[in-house]
Structure 1
Amino acid sequence: MNFEQLKPQVKSIVSNVEKTIDERLLSICELLENHIEYYNWVGFYFKNGDKEELKLGPYVGAPTDHTIIPFGKGICGQVAVSNENFVVPDVAAQENYITCSITVKSEIVIPIFINGKNIGQIDIDSHVADPFTEADERFLEFVCTEVAKLLS
């Protein structure tokens, strides 16, 4: 299934008021992980109150010990500070990478904005080296825009 085919499904999940916000976020994770072959771990991190850290939200994939990530640490922590997309084609070549699993070869992190403020991000790990393209970035920006609607 391609990105354009997934967009209406993302919108449908977001608009389903029968489910809680966390259930909808988890459904988005499941949708992406199930339909995009190289998305092997999909999850959300959100700013943890007034703290300069991220807290793990709903996700699918291997369990992680990284439930709290300080701003600036790892790829997610860097995106919390830079407010910019971060694509890592090869995690082994990244100095500030937090190792989650030896199977992870690449990562993409896209921030979520509400009223211009970075409130969290979607984080995707892949077991494939360098799979993420500009099309992934645009699609995940769309997903983050939809998630922002859900959270605002």
Structure 2
Amino acid sequence: MSFNSLKPKIETILANKNRNNEQLLTEVCELLQSNIEYYDWVGFYFANEAEKTLHLKAFAGEATDHTVIPFGKGICGQVAVSNSNFVVPDVKAQDNYIACSINVKSEIVIPLFKNGKNIGQIDIDSHVADPFSEEDERFLEWVNQVVAEKL
């Protein structure tokens, strides 16, 4: 399914007033994971500024032990500090990578901003080497923008 065809589905999910934010985010994760063949794990982490940690709030895919990540650690932790997109074509080439599954070959993490502040991120793991393009980045930036408007 194309990114453009997913956009109205994401907007519909986020417009549902009968679900809490965590349920809505889980639905967005499930939609992305089940409709983009190389999105094998999709999750939203949110920052706890006082503790300098990220906390997993919603995901689709295999369960992970990495529900709390310190700022600076792993790809997600680096994005919490850098405030920049991070595309990793080959996770084995990263010194500061936290392995979630032996099947993960690549990762993309896009920060989520609310009122100009990095409050979290969307994290995608893929079992395919180097599948992420600039189109993925722009789409996931859009996802985070509509999620931030909902929060």
Using the size of structure 1 for normalisation, the TM-score is 0.98
Aligned residues: CA RMSD: 0.7
AA partner of residue 6 (structure 1): L
Please state how far the C-alpha of 1:75 moved relative to its aligned partner.
0.2
Partner of 1:144: 144
Distance 1:48 1:28 in 2: 22
AA partner of residue 35 (structure 1): N
AA partner of residue 63 (structure 1): A
Any unmatched runs of 5+ in structure 1? none
Please state how far the C-alpha of 1:98 moved relative to its aligned partner.
0.3
Please state how far the C-alpha of 1:131 moved relative to its aligned partner.
0.2
After superposition, what is the alpha-carbon deviation per residue over 1:60-112, rounded to whole angstroms, capped at 9, x for unaligned? Answer: 11111111100000000000000000000000001100011100000000000
Please state how far the C-alpha of 1:49 moved relative to its aligned partner.
5.1
Distance 2:30 2:123 in 1: 13
How do 1:71-110 residues align onto structure 2 when only pairs under 5 Å count? Answer: 71-110=71-110
Partner of 1:21: 21
AA partner of residue 75 (structure 2): I
AA partner of residue 144 (structure 1): N
AA partner of residue 33 (structure 2): E
Please state how far the C-alpha of 1:18 moved relative to its aligned partner.
1.3
After superposition, what is the alpha-carbon deviation per residue over 1:22-81, rounded to whole angstroms, capped at 9, x for unaligned? Answer: 110000000000100000000010012521010111101111111110000000000000
Query: Percent of pairs identical after alignment?
Result: 65
Distance 2:81 2:58 in 1: 21
How do 1:52-67 residues align onto structure 2 when only pairs under 5 Å count? Answer: 52-67=52-67
Partner of 1:4: 4
Report SS of the residue matched to 1:25.
helix
Partner of 2:122: 122
Distance 1:97 1:45 in 2: 16
Report SS of the residue matched to 1:26.
helix
Extract structure 1 runs of 4+ deviating beyond 3 A: none
AA partner of residue 58 (structure 2): P
Q: How many residues align?
A: 151
Distance 1:144 1:30 in 2: 15
